Structure 1
Amino acid sequence: MNICLCAQYIEVGPFSGAVSDSSAVIVYKVSLPGQKCRVEYSKDSLLRKSEFSEVHTTTGKNANYIKVALKTLEPETKYFYRLELNGEKLERSRGHVRTFSDTSKSFRFAFGNSLKSESKRSGLRAAVDNDILFFLNTGDLHYSDIDVADIGLFRNAYQNALMRKDMSYMGKMVPLTFIWDDHDFGPNNSDKTAPGRMESGKAYRECIPHYSLMSTEKNGAIYQSFTVNNTHFILTDLRSTRDQNSKPDNENKTMMGKEQLTWFKRELKESSLKYPLVIWVSSVPFTAEKRNDSDSWAGFSYERRVIANFVKEHNIDNLMIISGDAHGISYNIGKENNYSDYEGEGLFEILAAPLDNWATSIKGGPWTEVYKPEAERGQMVYGMVEVDYSEDKTTVRFGAFDTEHHKLIHVEKRFENILE
């Protein structure tokens, strides 16, 4: 059935993501199957001299989501776009996206986790007010805690999350990069035994713009990597392949699973030799005191030591961590978090949340500095990272801010450029 759909029949979108120096993916959801869709795009804000993507037809098998790839784009260029639906160009569908650089050009991005409360002004909305290249959500995009194998529930959860006012605003302005944690993957503290594991993976693939997923399992884990202006990001999935927290903490207990851990080590080794900075996105804190039943890396200390030893043995000195799960602001400069069998410092790790959740918590540690948001007045926050390149070093500046952009915490870390 081909009918002319008015703008109100766009249920979700636009959202951009999977951006590189030459491509981007745009996501929409419309209300009916069988609709012919394509994206018009141009470097001109009025969409003059525009180009068009390939035509996509909506289908109920994908809940009427379409993912449109824009290719052969120019680096460091802003593109404006809108959806053409059955031949009608819809003004409400407008957005814009900026491609990344193909060189070591300084940049900044915002990050955070935990969207739940529907506050009047969230940390996400405040973050987008800044001149950022993209937004990184480190988990808990929603709090549906789904514990059944029902694809409809997962689709509805994503739709409700993406229709939030702050998410809709962000979708038109900056790209989204997202890795799940427990509440949006399955139930609280979920793991590979979650009943809806496969349905969760399918819904993520349908609804979220993402980079190439490296798992060989259909609708399985969502670990991925990408490069921004010569900084390499590694996103690990720490839910869909993890053992239960209560399992004894030994060589048989894993958070990543064998396939992902092998991929992760390869990514670490190869990217550390190619890029001046590597950022690992871990949805739970790496810095944490050992405790067998912990939901963080503290309860998976054997595998954590394997990773820490690998980093030391391959002289990976240009790695830092952005983590999630907690509802607080903290960082460790690399002191008292060396979990390897070798001497020396640990890893620089940062965390900033909640974007929009009245509950606050400090997890992990020891931290070099901590700020706990004020729960009684619903203090929402966001993290900001600036990556600044120079000839002999790469400087990372981390700051966390409230919704009025007051700086709550700040630290600077320098990485020596050791690449030949």
Structure 2
Amino acid sequence: MGSSVAVVALRRLAVVGLLITSLVIFACSASDEPLVTRIAFGSCANQSAPQLIWNAITDFDPQIFIWLGDNIYGDIRQPFKLFGKERTIGPWKNVPRFIPASEQEMQSRYKRAKNNPGYSRLRQSTKVIGTWDDHDYGLNDAGKEFGGKITNQRLLLDFLDEPQDSPRRKQAGVYSSYTFGPVGRQIKVILLDTRYHRDPLFSDGSILGSLQWMWLEKELNGPPSAITIIGSSIQVISNLSATTGPLFSLECWGHFPKERDRLFRLIRDSKRDGVFFISGDVHFGEITRYDCATGYPLYDITSSGLTQAVEKAVPPPLHFIVRFVAWLTPTTMRVMGRNCRYKSCTYGEPNFGAIEIDWDSTPVAMKIEVRDVNGFPVTGVKTSLLELQTQRIDSVAAIRAEESQKYCTLEMNLPWIVRYRLAILFFCTLAILLLGLIGLTYAAISVSRRCLHKYKFD
């Protein structure tokens, strides 16, 4: 009897020992995950353009670099042609401005981008992950209708060194998620695919498609993380097209208001703290914020582009015009800080995004910046994980107070005279110039007639 009791006791001790050993192994393996304190990101890198910015990114010494799309310019841009058999602009154009490249040409452009000396140095010391946007997807502004997406998905994943057995190579779309860092200090990176399943622009249809929405809901309701970064190739919060129309339009989630509302609801219902967005596409850098979606401020840090930027499209003496237009454009979401390089708090030259996390501070602090080609900040915000937590609201008065905050008025809800002031100024200027031209023409004709009359009289 005594021996049997001893055997049972020994077995129990053995089980307890195994459990303790397993917990120790798990704790050790979890603590072996390196702590991530620096993340860089960027978009819009033309493989044929000088890419000096990689030196600044390497000097920042990020542990992770995130591509946000237009990692190459794989489609072919045809020249502007207003007249002739093949017209690419104007109301009478008969051929598209952009056409897809062949698979061989796409491979060649990816190879050139991957072999860039600056990018090669970064890859040696940094974990590189990413998604795509339209130009590396294969066609400007394209969505689910584009026929080359299956082939180009494989080419992108080859560029990113995705393992051959990766689920990303079998699914429809390049969306994916990653978790970095030890337990309690983990960073979750969710990369969306805003191209493969996207309905036509202005349709207010779907951006992500049903399968990707199911996947995203599962990711947001999964194990908690201290920080969750959602990467979108197009801007999530800013909707500048609502204020720049009808002059020009920018792709963004604001063109699909039902989808954007669904995204905000999903984040709110998941009760996930520490969420913010990073985005690209627009060829300038800015930081935007929305306070009335999830119970805490939602930031969107836009970095665009590594080589492509709006000020590079105009001669240097005209850069002041671009900056003036950026300052004049009505925006309710842009974070306007005193430390911005320009008054508009946008940056239209090559740039990259930089995230720094101070895990030792109480509360944990974050510095998120857009930096220039020399690595100097041009705009940025400092926040903490305490700020990015759902605040409990116990009264209707508090709810109303929150709704009246600075970053709660969508661009679409601005008074029309404010919303369209850029277009009003443009057309008024055009009208004044036209009237001035007509006046000068009339004056020239009048002077010519007088001179002719005087000549005949003499």
**TM-score bucket (shorter structure):** 0.5 to 0.7
Q: Deviations over 1:203-251 (max 9, x none)?
A: 1233322478656x8463011111121111101111111111142x2xx
Deviates more, 1:255-264 or 1:218-227: 218-227
SS at match of 1:116: coil
Deviation at 1:390, TM superposition (A): 4.2
How far does residue 175 in structure 1 lie from its aligned partner after superposition? 2.5
Other-structure match for 1:408: 378
Structure 1 residue identity aligned to 2:254? A
Q: In 1, distance between residues paired with 2:207 and 2:332? A: 19
**Contact 1:388–1:394, Cα closer than 8 Å, also in 2:** yes
For residues 178-197 of structure 1, the aligned pairs below 5 Å read 178-197=130-149
CA separation of 1:389 and 1:189: change in aligned 2, threshold 3 A: same
Q: Which residues of structure 1 form unaligned runs of 5+?
A: 1-73, 77-99
CA contact (8 A) 1:318 1:415 kept: yes
Structure 1 vs Structure 2: percent identity of aligned residues? 21
Secondary structure of residue in 2 paired with 1:308? helix
Letter in 2 for 1:280: I
Contact kept, 8 Å, 1:178 with 1:210, in 2: the verdict is no
Aligned equivalents of 1:300, 1:213: Cα separation in 2: 31
CA distances 1:16-66 after superposition (whole Å, capped 9, x unpaired): xxxxxxxxxxxxxxxxxxxxxxxxxxxxxxxxxxxxxxxxxxxxxxxxxxx
In 1, the alpha carbon distance for the partners of 2:214 and 2:140 equals 27
Q: Does 1:102 align with 2:33?
A: yes
In structure 2, the CA distance between the partners of 1:231 and 1:317, relative to structure 1 (3 Å rule), is same
> Cα offset for 1:371?
3.5
Contact 2:69-2:136 at 8 Å conserved across structures: yes
Pairs within 5 Å for 1:266-285: 266-271=218-223, 274-285=224-235
Match for residue 175 of structure 2 among 198, 219, 223: 223
* SS across alignment from 2:122: helix
Tell me the equivalent position of 2:333: 366
| Aligned partners of 2:368 and 2:380 also within 8 Å | yes
Quote the offset at 1:288 in angstroms. 2.7
SS state at 2:265 partner: helix
Alignment check: 8 A CA contact 1:117 1:358 kept: no
Please state how far the C-alpha of 1:149 moved relative to its aligned partner: 8.2
**What residue in structure 2 maps to residue 383 of structure 1?**
353
d(CA) in 2 for partners of 1:394 and 1:327?
31
Aligned to 1:142: 72
Q: CA deviation at 1:285?
A: 0.6
Q: Does the 8 Å CA contact 2:289/2:333 hold for their aligned counterparts?
A: no
Partners of 1:148 and 1:353 lie apart in 2 by 22
> Which has more radius of gyration?
2
Deviation track 1:334-381 (CA, whole Å, cap 9, x = no partner) reads 44xx3x5x7x4441221122211243597986211353435xxxx422
Structure 1 residues 242 and 365: CA distance shift in structure 2, 3 A:
farther
The letter for the 2-side match of 1:203 is: L
Tell me if structure 2 keeps the 8 A contact 1:112–1:138: yes
After TM superposition, the score normalised by the length of structure 2 is 0.60
SS in 2 for 1:353: coil
Q: Counterpart of 2:278?
A: 322
Equivalent residue runs for 1:133-282 within 5 Å: 133-145=63-75, 147-148=99-100, 150-210=102-162, 218=170, 220-229=172-181, 230-247=186-203, 249=204, 253-271=205-223, 274-282=224-232
Aligned mates of 1:315, 1:199 — CA distance in 2: 38
The change in CA–CA distance for 1:310 and 1:126 in structure 2 (over 3 A counts) is: same
- SS of the counterpart of 1:400? strand
Instruction: List gaps (5 residues or longer) in structure 2.
Output: 1-27, 77-98, 312-321, 337-343, 391-458
Could you tell me which amino acid in structure 2 is paired with residue 142 of structure 1? I
The TM-score, its normalising length taken from structure 1, stands at 0.65
In 1, Cα distance between equivalents of 2:228 and 2:117: 32
Other structure's SS at 1:270 match:
coil
Residues 117 and 357 in structure 1, CA contact (< 8 A), matched pair in contact too: no
Change (3 A) 1:393 1:106: farther
Q: Find the aligned partners of 2:167 and 2:212 in 1 and give their Cα distance.
A: 8
Q: Which one-letter code corresponds to 1:126 in the other structure? A: A
* Structure having the larger proportion of residues in strand: 1
Deviation at 1:318, TM superposition (A): 1.6
The 1:168–1:145 alpha-carbon spacing in structure 2 relative to 1, beyond 3 Å, is same
Aligned residue pairs total 306
User: Partner letter of residue 271 of structure 2?
Assistant: N
Instruction: Give the drift of 1:118.
Output: 4.9
1:115 partnered with 2:45? yes
Does the Cα contact within 8 Å between 1:214 and 1:222 map onto a contact in 2?
no
Q: 1:408 to 1:75 in 2, by over 3 A?
A: farther
Bigger fraction of residues in helix: 2
Alignment partner, residue 57 of structure 1:
none
**Separation in 1 of the partners of 2:374 and 2:160?**
29
Alpha-carbon separation, structure 1, partners of 2:193 and 2:222: 19
1:395 aligns with 2:365: yes
What secondary structure, in the 3-state scheme, does the structure 1 residue paired with 2:310 have? Answer: coil
